[in-house]
Structure 1
């Protein structure tokens, strides 16, 4: 008689199905050539797959067998996303599974590397998000800028800011343009994580998506799952208002809107790196232009075919998150762990999954580590070295 594998975690099977977009238990059963009832009992925890079956499951999902033996840390906080419609359920489940994997990779790397300190100020001071008025959110945006020393001009690259204040950022291709970003505070390290979709992405849209998820981290850290489900519309409205106010401060941006025409907003887009459509919404929120004129601007915007892509959208390249990528490079290059060791001992997902979530180049895990040599004193860096300043992620003292 075959005995099930001790320590099998049923929730991992559901997570793996979501990550690989296998919609039904029947679909998985057909892949594994087992009865659908068997998969159902595995997922309910009534029985566990034996060693041979677990090995086949691991191969089918492209993960190590240990993936199904490692417990999942469940948080009582929601993952903030934009929609709850049933039409989005498979996409939402995929996105949530990727967030869980991002948090797991981040947690593992923090055993070896010191990440930037989490610098998310308590702007609510004990108050509830439900008590916030519009003017409160506007003031919070200005307080955040002062706290992070951003001044009152354009924000700059939101990804760099997020990582500087201790947020872990990952990017993935969702396969749909219906979902944008996801924000979640990790139950393991109490650190905010943001996952941004790359589908049909432009720099201005990335700016707004990143600021939107940052707003959730700032305003809604203590929102319960039930509150989120019951008040999604209000929570999303607050996040969008704070994101807009953060990217286009009320004390400076309106002063540059001399004539609220599409041509003028296009000029402002080049400076503020915010979409024309978002600027129209901002001017409406600040009641700088009347409601009828807002409608006219939206109609003209659509008539010019700018709904899917605006002018200048392709002008600025997208930056990639750096914290996790640089942590892995630092860990391997310093000799703390080898790539093979990390895959065999620490990570349970596939190399491709890890490369994608950490913004590493495809095939990074297959590349051989460089020789242990260094430049002589006085020689300049390689011409291929990046010119921009890096995010410093020092090793803890225990590694020397």
Structure 2
């Protein structure tokens, strides 16, 4: 009689399958060359794979065998997606897994390195997100800028700011245009984690995407799964309003909008680093353009083909990248605390490529040897320099004469 694997966690198998977007248990069974009923029993916990099958699973799903024995990262708090109804179930499952893996990698890194302390103010107090009015969100945006001491001008790198105040940020290819980013709070360290899409590499777009997820972390930390399902549209509207108010403050941005034309908004994009489309929406929110002007500007915007790519999107600014996790892993290795091989063999149970993607490490980072610092020996013996004379003070001519 073949024995299973003690301690096998069925949810881990589902997680690994969803991470590779394998659509069903039967599809995984075909890849493994086993009966679909076997994979079904492994995923529902009725039975577990024997050691040989476990090794085969690990190889096919690109994880270490120990992956299936470690507890899953769980959270009672929801993960915030830009849309639930229009995204494919398979894409949403993939993103949820990537968020759990980001939190898992973050927790491992924090065994060795202290990440920036969480410095995120409680902007709601005893209020609920459902009680917020537009003027409340505008006030919160200005309060945040004062709290983080960034003034009321352009915020030139939202990603760097978020990492400085305690966010953990990863970036991966989402594989769909319907998802730009997601945010979730980890119960392990009470720290917000954000995943940003790399599919559309435009600086201004990433600014808004990052600010949008930051807004979720601030306004919707205690939202339940049920509230997220029933209030999704309202929750998304609030997050966009706060992101826009944070990037384009009501006290300064309107003063620079002399003529609300597309040409003027291109110039303002150069300074504020916010997309033209988002600026149009901001002008409408602040009642700086009429109800007729906004649709007209959107039509002109679309007619110019800017829905696909705006002016200044390409090559104007270097895309802002998260760096905290990458810096922490480099520190761990450079300090000799853990080698790269140790990290893969002991700490991480997902593949090297997955860790590199989530942490914004260069591809192949784990396979490269750590750089050695070589002390150069002088070719000639150094001779001490001795001063034999005192310096002379040379007076400058008086040019006033």
Superposition TM-score tier, normalisation by shorter sequence: over 0.9
Give the whole-Å Cα distance in 1 for the aligned partners of 2:143 and 2:376: 45
Give the equivalent residue in structure 2 for 1:216.
Answer: 216
Deviations along 1:8-42, one digit per CA (max 9) or x if unpaired, are 11111111111101011111000111111111111
Give the equivalent residue in structure 2 for 1:316.
Answer: 317
Deviates more, 1:268-277 or 1:311-320: 311-320
1:370 lines up with 2:374 in the alignment: no
Residues 309, 86 of structure 1: alpha-carbon distance in 2 compared, 3 angstrom cutoff: closer
SS of 1:171 mapped into structure 2: strand
Shift in Å at residue 148 of structure 1? 0.4
Residues 83, 375 of structure 1: alpha-carbon distance in 2 compared, 3 angstrom cutoff: farther
Give the equivalent residue in structure 1 for 2:339.
Answer: 338
Give the whole-Å Cα distance in 1 for the aligned partners of 2:236 and 2:375: 51
SS of 1:221 mapped into structure 2: coil
Give the whole-Å Cα distance in 2 for the aligned partners of 1:84 and 1:192: 20
Give the equivalent residue in structure 2 for 1:199.
Answer: 199
1:250 lines up with 2:250 in the alignment: yes
Give the equivalent residue in structure 1 for 2:182.
Answer: 182
Deviations along 1:159-194, one digit per CA (max 9) or x if unpaired, are 100100010000001122221000000121111000
Q: How many residues align?
A: 376
Shift in Å at residue 371 of structure 1? 1.9
Shift in Å at residue 86 of structure 1? 6.2
Give the equivalent residue in structure 2 for 1:111.
Answer: 111
Shift in Å at residue 372 of structure 1? 4.7
Give the whole-Å Cα distance in 1 for the aligned partners of 2:200 and 2:169: 18
Give matches, 1:1-400, under 5 Å: 1-85=1-85, 87-314=87-314, 315-373=316-374
Deviations along 1:99-128, one digit per CA (max 9) or x if unpaired, are 111110000000000100001100111111
Unmatched runs of 5 consecutive residues or more in structure 2: 378-401
Give the whole-Å Cα distance in 2 for the aligned partners of 1:276 and 1:73: 39
Give the whole-Å Cα distance in 2 for the aligned partners of 1:197 and 1:61: 23
SS of 1:21 mapped into structure 2: coil
Give the conservation status (yes or no) of the 8 Å contact 2:73–2:103. no
SS of 2:63 mapped into structure 1: coil
Give the conservation status (yes or no) of the 8 Å contact 2:169–2:322. yes
Greater CA radius of gyration, 1 or 2?
A: 2
Give the whole-Å Cα distance in 1 for the aligned partners of 2:87 and 2:98: 19
Give the whole-Å Cα distance in 2 for the aligned partners of 1:201 and 1:363: 21
Give the conservation status (yes or no) of the 8 Å contact 2:4–2:48. yes
TM-score for the superposition, normalised by structure 1: 0.92
Give the whole-Å Cα distance in 1 for the aligned partners of 2:77 and 2:110: 21
Deviates more, 1:205-214 or 1:8-17: 8-17
Deviations along 1:35-74, one digit per CA (max 9) or x if unpaired, are 1111111111111111111100000011100001101131
TM-score for the superposition, normalised by structure 2: 0.92
Give the whole-Å Cα distance in 2 for the aligned partners of 1:211 and 1:223: 18
Shift in Å at residue 370 of structure 1? 1.9
Shift in Å at residue 92 of structure 1? 1.0
Deviations along 1:187-235, one digit per CA (max 9) or x if unpaired, are 2111100000011220000000000000001001111111111110010
Give the conservation status (yes or no) of the 8 Å contact 2:73–2:104. no
Give the whole-Å Cα distance in 1 for the aligned partners of 2:133 and 2:72: 37
SS of 1:183 mapped into structure 2: strand
Give the whole-Å Cα distance in 1 for the aligned partners of 2:264 and 2:353: 44
Residues 288, 363 of structure 1: alpha-carbon distance in 2 compared, 3 angstrom cutoff: same
Unmatched runs of 5 consecutive residues or more in structure 1: 377-400
Residues 66, 153 of structure 1: alpha-carbon distance in 2 compared, 3 angstrom cutoff: same
